[in-house]
Amino acid sequence: MAVILPHANFPGCKACMPACNEANGLPADTLPSGGIWDMPTGLNAQTKNIIELYQEPDSDTFAFVKRQCMHCPDPACVTGCPFGSLQKSDWGAVTWNSSLCIGCRYCEVPCPFEVPKFQWDSWNPKVVKCEFCYDQRLKKGMEPACTAACPTGTVIFGKRADARLGHTQYQDQGHRCRRLSALASECLLVGSDARHKTAQAAVARKNT
Ligand code: SF4
Ligand code: SF4
């Protein structure tokens, strides 16, 4: 299964962000806004999903990037966890098992997208990353909270084969679909050339 984000006409409403927090029992990150607004500056111990906005220097071109766990087909975090706490589960979800985790945070090191975060402030810390709402929704036959909440149908959850169909449809509309990285993630981006270029450059900058 995969999440695709066709960002050519993406409004950037961020409706998926509070939906994610609610589904995962995570509080809004209001610190950067002085306590009044959910405004995380990146993935963190209470943010599994964020819509980021990037603009090329000296350019009007901008791009939204939905950052979350990419549910890699061959996840480096799973390989990096010495205790089998992270695993590739049904529906392609990379899930975290709290009963096996000792909090060593080795999983943070190999992830090429800097996704897993650790709850340093908690007496019972968790490793925080998107799990496609595995326990709370997928197991009950529901799609992830973010795709269910998207008011425009921009973010889609479905089989990779369907994602490819979506890819073809977007190509028909004059857009392009490409992998976000060469790492064969389960999360795909669909959009115009210019926005792809901006998004990819932004993500590359973030990962260096
Ligand atoms: S993006 Fe990172 S945390 Fe998510 S599956 Fe890939 S390696 Fe693991
Ligand atoms: S912090 Fe937990 S999930 Fe991460 S590598 Fe250590 S045991 Fe595995």
Q: Tell me: the pLDDT tens digits for 67-80? A: 999 999 999 999 99
Q: Count CA within 13 A, CB hemisphere, residue 58.
A: 0
Q: Split the chain (208 residues) into runs of 10 and give each run's mean pLDDT.
A: 63 92 95 88 96 86 88 95 96 96 97 97 96 96 94 81 56 39 40 47 55
What's the topology of domain 76-128?
A: Alpha-Beta Plaits (3.30.70)
Q: Distance between CA atoms of 111 and 166, rounded to whole angstroms? A: 27
Which listed ligand is nearest to 125 at the C-alpha? Answer: 2
For CATH 3.30.70.20, the residue range(s) in the chain are 2-71+134-206, 76-128
Q: How far apart are CA 71 and CA 77, in angstroms?
A: 10
Which ligand sits closest to the CA of 76?
A: 1
Q: What is the pTM of this model?
A: 0.79
Q: Where are the alpha helices (DSSP H) in 113-188?
A: 145-149, 160-172
Report whether residue 102 contacts ligand 2, using a CB cutoff of 6 Å.
yes
Q: What pLDDT shows up at residue 101?
A: 98
- 2-71+134-206 CATH pick, 3.40.50.1820, 3.30.70.20, 3.55.50.30, 1.10.10.920: 3.30.70.20
Ligand 1 centroid from CA 114, angstroms: 8
